[in-house]
Every structure is written in C-alpha cells, then in structure tokens.
Structure 1
Amino acid sequence: MTIEFVQAGAVATIRIARPEKLNALSLQMYADLGAAFARARDDDTVNAVVLTGTGARAFCVGADLTESIPALASGRFDISAWDPAHLKGQHFHKPLVCAVRGLCIGGGFEIMLASDIRIAASDAVFQLPEPGHGFVPAGGTLVRLVRQIGYAHAMEMMLTARRFSPAEMLRFGVVNEVVPPEDLEARALEIATGIAALSPNAVQTIKEAALTLQDAPWEEAFAREALLGQRTFTSDDAKRGLAAFASRAARSSG
C-alpha cells in the first residue's frame, strides 16, 4: 500500500508513501489516491483532510514516468483517468490542507493545487517542468493556476519550467505559510484540527461557494450566495450555534 489513510478524530491524513521513488505515482497509486479522496468525502466523521508525502526528499514528483510514458505515448491511455486524484470535476467540499516538503514537481504540484491551504517546509522545491519535455501540465494547472494566483505569476511558472523557492511561492500566493521542516506536519494538523472543530456544514458551504461562484455573473453569484446562506441558517449546526449564542448573551446580560 503506497497511499495511506489514517484518521484521528475528525481529521483524516492521506499520505503518499513511496519515498524510495520520491513519492512518484504509479498508475495504481493514482487510482488509490482518488479512492482515498472519495473515502474522505463520503465519510461523515471526517471534517478536514491533510495531504502529505513520506520522507524528507519529496512531497510528490508526479507520475512514475517509467510506467506512465509508455501508457501515454501509446495513445490508448485516457489521461482523464487521473481526474479523481487531481480532484478535477469532483465535488470535494471538505477542507484540504497540504503539507509540502522537498520536491513538489509536475503532477505533485498539480495535486497540491487542488488543496485549499498549503503549508511548505523551508526546504521545499516547486516546479512545472512539462514544457521542457514536450507536453503541458494538464492535471488541473492550466485551469487552476491563473485563477488562483493571477496571469503574470502563473505564466512565469508554466512557461519558464524553472524551479521556485518556498519564499517565491509565498510571494506568488501559491502557499499560505513557510515553516521549518520539523514543524511541517504539526502545523498542517493544527490548522486542519481547528477547521474540523467548526461547523462542518458551514465550512463545506464556504468551500462550495468559493469553487462554484467565482466564474458566475455577479447577479447570479449573489443570488446563489443568498441561497447558500439561507441553507446554512436553517441547518442543525446553525440552530445549535444560535441557541448557544443566545444562552451566553442571556447569562452575560443577567
């Protein structure tokens, strides 16, 4: 098993565990990673997810080229088979925190882009090398990167194929924080645990809105926002939260 799934409380940790190959993904691992995301999505006891890699050398360097290149070059392999691992077209509304150490290259970078909050170790290295090999980063990057960080920074990353430092990724807005390597997983778990303690319905609705409203026309987006807000106000989570607030207010005024 090279994709590990461990749950502690309301937080699931998905780990790419093939350090001897820099956590390169075999075809089976791509399928297993997609299945791990689906497991977390469908389990009501999971409120947040941490994604990371095993070892100090790499988060993930993407596909295992010794296996994937023959499959892709044959023309008989449908690259959309990797969509579940890249969360392309997936209704994955649970918060996903990514902890990156070492190499985060190619498909590994693309998988990271599917996460919501990214914590990088100070020794992380980021790269989209695809143009140097004659192909493109089509695992979600062509769609996500410009939307997430803007045209100029996205094009610099995609067109130059050079390596980028954690400091550059922080400046570009690709990652949220840079921490010492020894603090990486603890910090990611701290963030995920804090989110998991909040209302699952509210948190997942916020993510749903962020993913679905950004490209809608303003009037439509505002109308859909109101519907999502109304849905949360009538949820059991909101009823409990409002009742607790009212109780605290009554005690403080008394």
Structure 2
Amino acid sequence: MSGGLRVSVEKDTGVAVVTLDRPGRLNAIDLAMAAELAEVWQAFRFDDSVRAVVLTGAGERAFCTGIDRDAVVPQPPSPYMVDDPLLRVGPKANDLWKPVVAAVRGMACGGAFYLLGESEFVVADETAAFFDPHTAYGMVSAYESVLMAQRMPFGEVARMMLMGTAERISARRAYEIGLVSELVAPGEALAAATRCAAVIAGHPPEGVQGTVRALWAAKEAARAHAFAQAPHLVALGNLPARQQAELFAGRRRTGGFRVR
C-alpha cells in the first residue's frame, strides 16, 4: 500500500496486523495515511477472516506522533466548521466493531490518541512514552482530551494535556493509571498484543463483537456530547497557523519523564 501503511492478515489465527509505516517521520499521519486507515477499517468490516486486529508503529522511536506537521488541511472560514482529517482514522469512527489491540513502542503523542482512544486496550513496552504537545504550541487539545478522559483518571489526563511538552508519562506510570493494560520488555509489545488478539480471535465472533459494541455503548453519549463542542473550542482557542509554526520551530526538547 502507498501512503505509509502495512497490513498483514494471518488467516489461521484471524489476526490482522496494521502497521503505521513512516518511521522516518515518527509514524506521523499524513493525509494519504489518514485515508488509507479509513479504507482499511472499512474493508475489515466485510472480511470474515479478520476477527481481531493489532495496531502498531514501525521502528523503535515512535508508535505515532499525530498529524504530520507538513500536512496542509484547508479550513472553512467559519468557527462552526472545522476539518480534522484524524477524525476518521480510528476503527470506531469507521463503524468497525471488531476488537483492536494497540501495541506501543516509543512515543505516542498528540493525534496518536485518536488511535489509542479507539482501541480496546493498549499493550506497551518499557520504552513507551505518552504526552500531548497541543497547549505548548498554542493549540486546543479537544478530541484527544475527550478520548483520553475516557481511558485515564481525570487528574492524570488533565495534567498530561495541560503540561504539554514539559513532561512525558512513562510506560510504568501509564500502566499504573490504567492507560496501559500490560507492560512488557523493550521490543515485545507487538508479540504480546498479538498473543492477546489471537486468543480473542479464537472466540465466536458474534459474542466478541457484541461485547465490543456493548463496551463502547457505555461511553458513547458522553463522547458524542463532548465531540460536539470540540470544533468550536478548537476554532476559538487555536493560535493562527503562523504563530503555531513559530512555536513549533522554536521548540525545546520535551521534558523529563513522570514516573509517579
């Protein structure tokens, strides 16, 4: 596939592995990859050989670092209409109710939370680090905050979003607060996530998919209400693109890890 995705399906186990494959760009999502992700999730809806999915990133440095800074996304001249290409990159946004397990190695930040937020659970290795740079660059963390507020204690997600690039949540801390369900040695996240996916794929799919749908039904009302406010908050709170670029160009190295 062009655009930066690798997709493999193991017919015997029923597990598909979707790999964000732009390691030179820290697996940042450009517009081509965003479109491909939507196509992949929609295709899986019709493929009975896929009963569970593992989502991971190529290379050792990052799972995903969100939207590619070079992506040009034209915006309507209205605070009531905001185009966000990441809104369609997740499985649930594409009406896929097959279980997705995320395998995280290295950085997961910013727009990566669209993907982690729509996965059933996260397996991470000890190199994983989580942070959200939006506020440091004069941007509103809206959708990311909503999704993570459904995965983490409120105080933890508030601190991560508001601290911006000043600190990262370590893999150990992410495990302790419940963002990560299993913590493994460096380089072992994909294998561990695949083992989980293979077990799930071995169960009757109707029961599995019904359970996934039930789990997400418990969160949908709150998420939909919060998402409805997000475009206005982004339009009102984001600095102009030029000022964002200036802050990004002058960025310092992200702060240290918070392990407690």
The answer to whether the 8 Å contact 2:52/2:197 transfers is yes
Matching residue of 1:167: 172
The answer to whether the 8 Å contact 2:31/2:85 transfers is no
In 2, the alpha carbon distance for the partners of 1:173 and 1:12 equals 25
- Aligned with 1:7 (options 6, 9, 17): 9
- Aligned with 1:152 (options 150, 155, 161): 155
Alignment of 1:187-226 (within 5 A): 187-214=192-219
In 1, the alpha carbon distance for the partners of 2:109 and 2:218 equals 29
Q: How many Å apart are 1:92 and its aligned residue?
A: 2.1
In 2, the alpha carbon distance for the partners of 1:214 and 1:111 equals 16
Q: 1:63-117 CA distances to partner (integer Å, 9 max, x unpaired)? A: 110224xx25785995344322034644221110000001111111331121112
Matching residue of 1:229: none
Alignment of 1:113-128 (within 5 A): 113-128=117-132
* 1:183 and 2:188 correspond: yes
AA in 2 matched with 1:7? V
AA in 2 matched with 1:185? L
Q: Percent identity?
A: 32
In 1, the alpha carbon distance for the partners of 2:27 and 2:124 equals 16
In 1, the alpha carbon distance for the partners of 2:26 and 2:220 equals 36
Q: Which runs of 5+ in 2 are unaligned?
A: 222-260
Quickly say closer, same or farther: Cα 1:29–1:158, change in 2 above 3 A. Answer: same
Q: How many Å apart are 1:148 and its aligned residue?
A: 2.2
AA in 2 matched with 1:50? V
Matching residue of 2:96: 92
The answer to whether the 8 Å contact 1:109/1:127 transfers is no
Q: Secondary structure at the match of 1:34?
A: helix
Q: Which of 29-38 and 49-58 deviates more?
A: 29-38
Q: Which has the higher contact order (CA 8 A, sep 6+)?
A: 2
In 2, the alpha carbon distance for the partners of 1:48 and 1:149 equals 24
AA in 2 matched with 1:8? E
So what's the TM-score if we normalise by structure 2? 0.76
The answer to whether the 8 Å contact 1:22/1:61 transfers is yes
- Aligned with 1:43 (options 47, 66, 74): 47
Q: 1:135-171 CA distances to partner (integer Å, 9 max, x unpaired)? A: 1234x42322222223222211211123110011111
The answer to whether the 8 Å contact 1:12/1:40 transfers is no
Q: Secondary structure at the match of 2:188?
A: helix
The answer to whether the 8 Å contact 1:31/1:82 transfers is no
Matching residue of 1:141: 144
So what's the TM-score if we normalise by structure 1? 0.77
**Matched residue count:** 214
Q: RMSD of the alignment, in Å?
A: 2.2
AA in 1 matched with 2:7? F
The answer to whether the 8 Å contact 1:95/1:207 transfers is yes
